[in-house]
Amino acid sequence: MSQTNQTQVTEFLLLGLSDDPLTQQFLFVLFLGIYLVTVFGNLLLMSLVQVDSRLHTPMYFFLCNLSLADLCFSTNIVPQALVHLLSRKKLISFMQCAAQLLLFLIFGCTQCVLLAVMSYDRFVAICNPLHYSSIMNWQVCVQLATGSWASGILVSVVDTTFTLQLPYQGSNSIAHFFCEAPALLTLASTDTRTSEIAIFIMGVAILLIPVSLILVSYGVIIVTVVRMKSVVRSLKAISTCGSHLMVVILFYGSAIVTYMTPKSSKLQGKLVSVFYAVVTPMLNPLIYSLRNKDVKGALRKIVQVNFQHSLGISR
């Protein structure tokens, strides 16, 4: 797969996570299991929100958008990784790599903004409950969700453009299991400082600004909860925010390590990428489902109805 210095690379070789056959078999089983749970969990969560009228609220509307982004995010990466774990030639064309990078950034960046929007929703619900329904009306919710997806698309187009406009000649071996900007930049046959600066600026816009908004929102929420005289209300407020905070820490923590810190070792970079690209999309629906009584109640209701129908019991 050697390329001459004068030839533009037309395909890349993904080196993956390991070249040991046994390790690859183990990773295949692990990734397949994680992906199946991811697909089932996110589809189930979106279905529950659609069929249960009690979940037709702004919080679950944003959660549906997050689940959709998670599902697409994982589907863009894991199936291709599974195929490469079982194949000898781990090749991906330049155009396929470009498409994977663009979609990866769209869904990942959209999640960043959605998590900030969800923190704002919790801020309004806890700190201004009397005006919650008027502030978070459906028109505003649709606008916030649309803005999240539009922001993700904008940042992804900028990052992808600055990554792929560079000349790629010579080496075509990517020390990664999917096409990600930091891994691709190491193969560029020219100075990449301009592209790195552009990607860093986009990282500030899509990572640090939403994180700052989340921290401010939860700072005010904590103050409000502390001042609450009712212990029941305080516990309920903490419970509704706990799941969101766990998802924020998992996703933003790993993403910031990859895009906003000095270059780390290749192994560390790949392990962090596995966490936020493969594991986190599976954890999100599990965290929200296991810690949320409304979701668990909707699931029990559907299971009971289906069980009754299977026994031929009419309601």
Q: Would you place residue 310 in the very low, low, confident or very high pLDDT band (cuts 50, 70, 90)?
A: low
Q: Give me the mean pLDDT over the 211-230 stretch.
A: 84
Q: Give me the mean pLDDT over the 12-25 stretch.
A: 89
Name the residue with higher pLDDT: 160 or 313: 160
Distance CA 18, CA 155 (A): 31
Q: Would you place residue 291 in the very low, low, confident or very high pLDDT band (cuts 50, 70, 90)?
A: low
What is the dihedral angle through the alpha carbons of 230, 231, 237, 243, rounded to the nearest 10 degrees?
Answer: 180
Q: Would you place residue 265 in the very low, low, confident or very high pLDDT band (cuts 50, 70, 90)?
A: low
- What are 275-290's pLDDT values in tens digits? 888 888 888 888 776 6
Q: Give me the mean pLDDT over the 182-193 stretch.
A: 89
- What are 62-82's pLDDT values in tens digits? 999 999 999 999 999 999 999
How large a percentage of the chain has pLDDT more than 90? 39
Q: Give me the mean pLDDT over the 268-272 stretch.
A: 74
Q: What is the pLDDT of residue 18?
A: 85
Give how far the C-alpha of residue 54 lies from the chain's centroid of Cα atoms, to the nearest Å. Answer: 26
- pTM recorded for the entire structure: 0.86
Q: What is the pLDDT of residue 246?
A: 76
Q: Would you place residue 315 in the very low, low, confident or very high pLDDT band (cuts 50, 70, 90)?
A: very low
- What are 37-61's pLDDT values in tens digits? 999 999 988 988 888 888 888 988 9
Distance CA 45, CA 47 (A): 5
Q: Give me the mean pLDDT over the 155-182 stretch.
A: 90
Q: What is the pLDDT of residue 227?
A: 80
Query: In the chain, what are the domains?
Result: 11-310 (1.20.1070.10)
Q: What is the pLDDT of residue 4?
A: 45
**DSSP codes joined into one string, the chain:** ----TTSB--EEEE--S---HHHHHHHHHHHHHHHHHHHHHHHHHHHHHHH-GGG-SHHHHHHHHHHHHHHHHHHHHHHHHHHHHH-S--EEEHHHHHHHHHHHHHHHHHHHHHHHHHHHHHHHHHHSGGGHHHHT-HHHHHHHHHHHHHHHHHHHHHHHHHHHTS--BS--EESSSS--HHHHHTT-SS--HHHHHHHHHHHIIIIIHHHHHHHHHHHHHHHHHHH-S-HHHHHHHHHHHHHHHHHHHHHHHHHHHHHSS----HHHHHHHHHIIIIIHHHHHHHHHHHT-HHHHHHHHHHHHHHHHHHTT---
Least confident of 109-113, 227-231, 259-263: 259-263
Burial class (CB in 10 A: 0-12, 13-18, 19+), 190: exposed
Q: What is the pLDDT of residue 150?
A: 96
Which two three-digit tokens encode residue 155? 């940042």
Whether 108 has a pLDDT exceeding 50, the answer reads: yes
Q: What is the pLDDT of residue 203?
A: 85
Q: What is the pLDDT of residue 6?
A: 56
Q: What is the pLDDT of residue 1?
A: 43
Rounded to the nearest integer, the mean pLDDT of the chain is 84
Whether residue 275 contacts residue 255, with contact meaning beta carbons closer than 8 Å, is answered with no
